[in-house]
Amino acid sequence: MFKKIFGNNNKPTNDSLETDEAQVIWTEKPREQKKSPPFLTFTLALRPVVVIIIISILIGAAAGAVTGFYAGSYALTKFVSYSQPTILHSITQASSQNQTDQTAGTIAPIILGNQEESDIVSAVKKTSPAVVNVIVSKYVTTYYSDTASPFDELFNDWFGQSVPTPTPNNSQKQKQEVGGGTGFVVSSKDGLILTNKHVASDETAEYTVVTNDGKKYDAKILAQDPFNDIAILKIEIKDLPEVQLGDSEKIQIGQTVIAIGNALGEYRNTVTKGVISGVGRRVVAGDNTGSSEVLENVIQTDAAINLGNSGGPLINTHGEVIGINTAINSQGQMIGFAIPINQAKQVIESVKKYGKIVRPYLGVRYVLINEEIVKKNNLSVNYGALVLRGTDQTELAIIPGGPADKAGIEEGDIILEVNGVKITEDNSLSKTIQNLKPGDEVGLKILHKGVEKTVKAKLEEYSPR
């Protein structure tokens, strides 16, 4: 049955017939029209003329409106374009007069919206002078050709420049920027700059530090932390502004923080604001080269940490550095991570005292036990560090001759406690050991072939092999 043309609630009248195939509209013979009076005939005759006049008026009005709109826009654009400098000049003059004559009272001083905004501005002004850009340069092989490519003209038309054809025979080495990041001065008298190890990792590269006032200084890698993403650069200049270090143990979730850094490698001292979203995170950070590093007990923040911000300070509203901006989660939004500044304090003091980073080490490779490992291996304990070799044959579980080897620890043992403190995912073995010093003797509670026992180990200074 077809759908009625009258609507759902109307029934067909006797002027229509409803069938299963179609709806037929009955036709009637036109009614005979009565003859109109002469004046009415005249009026009807004029109707087309009136319609034409009305249409002409409407068209004229529309055309006038369009013309007026564009003419007005053009005039307004010209007025704004030429009057804007005058307006800015007037504001500048008024501001200058307000600064020199505080008693005039004609223009009120700018007042920030609330105390937090005032604190943030003060914190940035306090810290920014000590934040630097780190430029990584290297001599790389470049290729050029004396002959033109048939596609040069095409690319020149599209992109405004020709594309040379590579010719290995005419190669030469040129110094180019190959990377960069951010750092901040932690010791003015020693010229020490703290940054990330992944920013200053290439021993064959050259490093340049650009200070907040645009001055450039040559820098060299003084130390790299073997167990954390921290490095120290040194410049031969003193009396630079120095940051104030805070206490990362006192931070709280929801606390306002500010990240400062060389965003995208070109926007110097970019400032972003956010809050601390989490603490005590454990993440695996890496890059597109395949290298990665486990970062433990890091700070999570939603303050935007862009590429190029690595090594920059994460500060509180007092202008104190509480973290080192290090990594972002590329799969999420506004998820960044910073190394707590307390982890770097020992590094800074070690470099000041010894000229290098002195770290204790136990000499084991391990994986922290979790529920999945417990289920797959039917373990009798649900915490500890399982001593295990790496995926590569060279990644031994026990470093020969190291403290763990001397203490009799073997592959497959589970280190349960260090000095009576349990080893868990929140309190890893590495974190526990790094709170100690080379030469310290520790008591290790281990599970060896299903039997618990306690052994003694004397920590030694780590030296890269």
**Which residues are designated catalytic?**
198, 229, 310
- Please report the sign of the dihedral spanned by the C-alpha atoms of residue 164, residue 168, residue 169, residue 174: positive
The 3-state DSSP class for residue 208 equals strand
Cα–Cα distances (Å) from 65 to 53, 56, 71, 105, in that order, read 18, 14, 10, 46
CB atoms under 10 Å from CB of 69, counted, come to 10
- Please report the sign of the dihedral spanned by the C-alpha atoms of residue 412, residue 418, residue 424, residue 427: negative
Cα separation, 390 vs 292, whole angstroms: 14
| Burial class, 281, CB count within 10 angstroms (exposed 0-12 / middle 13-18 / buried 19+) | middle
Name the token pair of 239.
């009396």
Residue that has been written with the tokens 């013979």 in this structure = 29
Name the token pair of 203.
């021993």
| Burial class, 283, CB count within 10 angstroms (exposed 0-12 / middle 13-18 / buried 19+) | middle
Cα separation, 372 vs 368, whole angstroms: 11
Name the token pair of 266.
């070109």
Distance, CA of 227 to chain centre: 23
Nearest to 282 by CA among 159, 428, 138: 428
Phi, psi of 222 (to 5 degrees): -95, -35
**Residues with Cβ < 8 Å from 343, sequence gap 6 or more?**
228, 230, 248, 297, 434
